[in-house]
Amino acid sequence: MNKEDLLQLKCVIWFKNNYQMHGKGLIFAVPNGGTRNIIEAKKLKSTGTMPGVSDLIVVLDSKVLFIELKTDIGKQSDAQKIFETKITNLNHEYILIRNEEEFKTSILSRIGNREK
């Protein structure tokens, strides 16, 4: 598991334990990367897979957050930057997160400190 995957795992576990299991939000990932054969890639593209989609989507009461996770030195791809622009143009929040504390702070500032 690489550093970005580990960060995602920690963020998802924290959110699920503190919010999702208490009915205060949803968090999910849209598997959008990896290596695929040409037939599977064509099928995924034709059924809605979009390059650059954020790593996590968090649904809160009256808002949806699109969260991209990067390590301290990680950079967004061009497709991720285009996706960010599309999301912000639609008046949703796109948040670039580099560590677990940033994730927690971002959630707490939007949902309030209602852990457990």
Compute the distance between CA of residue 83 and CA of residue 86 in angstroms, rounded to an integer.
Answer: 5
pLDDT at position 30: 87
Per the CB < 8 A criterion, the answer to whether 8 and 33 are in contact is no
The CATH fold of domain 3-111: Trna Endonuclease; Chain: A, domain 1 (3.40.1350)
The residues spanned by each domain of the chain are 3-111
Amino acid at 78: D
Q: Please list the pLDDT of the chain residue by residue as tens digits (116 residues).
A: 899 999 999 999 999 999 999 999 999 998 776 677 888 878 888 888 888 999 999 999 889 999 999 999 999 999 999 999 999 999 999 999 999 999 999 999 988 655 44
Instruction: Round to whole Å and give the CA distance between 114 and 106.
Output: 13
pLDDT at 116: 46
Report pLDDT for 34. 66
Q: How far apart are CA 86 and CA 12, in angstroms?
A: 24
- pLDDT computed for residue 36 by the predictor: 74
